[in-house]
Structure 1
Amino acid sequence: MGRHRGRGRLLALAIAFIPLSTAFYLPGTAPRDYRYGDSIEVYVNSLTPMLNSKLRSLISYDYYDQVFHFCQPDGGPVKQPESLGSILFGDRILSSPYQVDMMYNTSCNTLCRSHVPKDDAKFINDRIKEDYGVNFIIDGLPSSEMRQDVKTGEIFLDAQGFNLGKADPQTQQVALNNHYDIWIQYHVKDNAQYRVVGVMVYPSSRDSSPVDGSSAANCKTDRPLFLSETNDNDIYYTYSVNFIPSDIPWGLRWDAYLHVFDPKIHWFSLINSLIIASFLVFMVAMVLYRTITKDISRYNAIDLSEDVQEDYGWKLVHGEVFRVPDRPMVLSVFVGNGIHLLIMAGVTLIFALFGFLSPSNRGSLATVLLICWTFFGCVSGYVSARTYSTLGGEQWKPNLVLTAILVPTVVFATIGLLNLFLIGSSASGAVPFGTILAILLLWFVISIPLSVAGYFYGLKHGPFPHPVRVNPIPRQIPPKPWYLNTLQAAILGGILPFGAAFVELYFVLSSLFGNRAYYAFGFLFLTFVVLVLTTATVTVLFTYFILCAEEYRWHWRAFMIGGGQAFWLFAYGLWYWASRLSFDNFTSVVLYFGYLFIVALLDFLLGGAIGYISAYFAIRRLYTSIRVD
Structure 2
Amino acid sequence: MNILHYVILVFISIHSSLALSSQFSPSNFLSLWHSKHLYKFGDDIDLLVNTVSSSQSNIPYAYYKVPFVCPPSSSVKPVHLSLAEILNGDNLMQSDYQLVFGNDSPCLRLCDRIMAKRNIIKSIDLIKQNYIVDWVIDGLPASTTFISDNLTERKKYYVPGFPMGFVKGDDAYVNNHVLMVIRYHKEKDNQYSIVGFEVYPKSVNDFTCPGASKNFEHTKLDASNDFQLIHFTYSVYWKEEPEIDYNNRMKLFIDPSLIDSNGKLLSKPSNNNKAIHWVSLINSLVLATFVSLVAAFIILINFRSSIQSASQSSFAQISQNSFTKPRFLPLLSLLTGSGVQLVFTLLASGILSSLFLRKSFANDSKILALTIFILIIGGFFAGFSSIQLLKLFSTRGEQLSIWKTSLISSLSGSMLISLGLAIVVVVNTLIFSKDSPRSMKFSNFLQLFILYIFFQLPISLIGGLISRKFNLFTNLLSSSLDSAPYTYASNKVSVAKTPLYLRFPFSMLIIGLFPCGIVFIESRFVYMTLLSERATTYLLGFLVLSAILLSIVMIEIGIISTYIRLLKNTSQYNWQWWTFLNCSISIWLYLESTSLYQLLKKLKTEGSTSPFLFIAYSSILNTIVALTCGTLALWSATIFIYSIVLISTKKKD
TM-score by length of 1: 0.87
- Supply the distance in 2 between the matched residues of 1:396 and 1:331 (Cα, whole angstroms): 14
Structure-1 residue corresponding to 2:299? 288
Shift of 1:621: 1.2
- Supply the distance in 2 between the matched residues of 1:560 and 1:191 (Cα, whole angstroms): 63
Shift of 1:421: 1.1
- Supply the distance in 2 between the matched residues of 1:480 and 1:156 (Cα, whole angstroms): 62
Structure-2 residue corresponding to 1:224? 218
Structure-1 residue corresponding to 2:229? 234
Shift of 1:605: 1.3
Farther-moved stretch of structure 1 (259-268 vs 129-138) = 259-268
Q: Which of 265, 268, 272 is residue 279 of structure 2 equivalent to?
A: 268
Q: Secondary structure at the match of 2:36?
A: coil
- Supply the distance in 1 between the matched residues of 2:324 and 2:364 (Cα, whole angstroms): 50
**Structure 2 CA distance for partners of 1:64 and 1:331, relative to 1, 3 Å:** same
- Supply the distance in 2 between the matched residues of 1:79 and 1:159 (Cα, whole angstroms): 26
Q: Does 2:533 match 1:515?
A: yes
Structure-1 residue corresponding to 2:378? 376
- Supply the distance in 2 between the matched residues of 1:287 and 1:426 (Cα, whole angstroms): 57
Contact 1:486 1:560 in 2 (8 A): no
Matches within 5 A, 1:84-103: 84-103=83-102
Could you list the per-position Cα deviations for residues 422-447 of structure 1 after superposition, in whole angstroms to 9, with x for gaps in the alignment? Answer: 11211112122222211211111111
Q: Which of 506, 513, 525 is residue 495 of structure 1 equivalent to?
A: 513
- Supply the distance in 2 between the matched residues of 1:203 and 1:407 (Cα, whole angstroms): 44
**Structure 2 CA distance for partners of 1:567 and 1:373, relative to 1, 3 Å:** same
Farther-moved stretch of structure 1 (140-149 vs 171-180) = 140-149
Contact 1:400 1:452 in 2 (8 A): yes
Q: Which amino acid aligns with 1:578?
A: L
Q: Which of 361, 366, 369 is residue 367 of structure 1 equivalent to?
A: 369
- Supply the distance in 2 between the matched residues of 1:136 and 1:177 (Cα, whole angstroms): 15
TM-score by length of 2: 0.84
Q: Does 2:66 match 1:47?
A: no
Matches within 5 A, 1:586-597: 586-597=608-619
Could you list the per-position Cα deviations for residues 319-352 of structure 1 after superposition, in whole angstroms to 9, with x for gaps in the alignment? Answer: 5311111110110111111011101111111211
Q: CA RMSD in A?
A: 2.5
Contact 2:97 2:110 in 1 (8 A): yes
Q: Which of 591, 604, 623 is residue 582 of structure 1 equivalent to?
A: 604
Structure-2 residue corresponding to 1:12? none
Structure-2 residue corresponding to 1:144? 143
Contact 2:319 2:644 in 1 (8 A): no
Q: Which amino acid aligns with 2:160?
A: Q
Shift of 1:157: 4.3
Q: Does 2:582 match 1:561?
A: yes
| Greater RCO structure (CA 8 Å; 6+ sep) | 1
Shift of 1:523: 1.8
Shift of 1:484: 0.9
Q: Does 2:252 match 1:256?
A: yes
Farther-moved stretch of structure 1 (522-531 vs 186-195) = 186-195
Q: Does 2:61 match 1:61?
A: yes
Q: Which amino acid aligns with 1:497?
A: P
- Supply the distance in 2 between the matched residues of 1:570 and 1:591 (Cα, whole angstroms): 14
Structure-1 residue corresponding to 2:318? 317
Contact 1:374 1:446 in 2 (8 A): yes
Contact 2:37 2:138 in 1 (8 A): no
- Unpaired runs of 5+ residues, structure 1, are 1-24, 50-54, 210-215, 301-310
- Unpaired runs of 5+ residues, structure 2, are 1-30, 256-269
**Structure 2 CA distance for partners of 1:166 and 1:342, relative to 1, 3 Å:** same
Q: Percent identity?
A: 24
Structure-2 residue corresponding to 1:570? 592
Equivalenced residue count is: 580
Q: Does 2:642 match 1:620?
A: yes
Farther-moved stretch of structure 1 (226-235 vs 433-442) = 433-442
Q: Which amino acid aligns with 1:32?
A: L
Shift of 1:406: 3.0
Could you list the per-position Cα deviations for residues 389-439 of structure 1 after superposition, in whole angstroms to 9, with x for gaps in the alignment? Answer: 112174435423532443322222112211111112111121222222112
Q: Does 2:503 match 1:485?
A: yes
Q: Does 2:553 match 1:534?
A: yes
Structure-2 residue corresponding to 1:30? 36
Could you list the per-position Cα deviations for residues 289-328 of structure 1 after superposition, in whole angstroms to 9, with x for gaps in the alignment? Answer: 135522333345xxxxxxxxxx663235245311111110
Shift of 1:473: 3.3
Point out the structure with the larger helix share: 2
Q: Which amino acid aligns with 1:284?
A: A
Contact 2:49 2:135 in 1 (8 A): yes
**Structure 2 CA distance for partners of 1:269 and 1:144, relative to 1, 3 Å:** same
Farther-moved stretch of structure 1 (331-340 vs 475-484) = 475-484
Contact 1:313 1:547 in 2 (8 A): no
Could you list the per-position Cα deviations for residues 261-292 of structure 1 after superposition, in whole angstroms to 9, with x for gaps in the alignment? Answer: 70101110111111111111111111121355
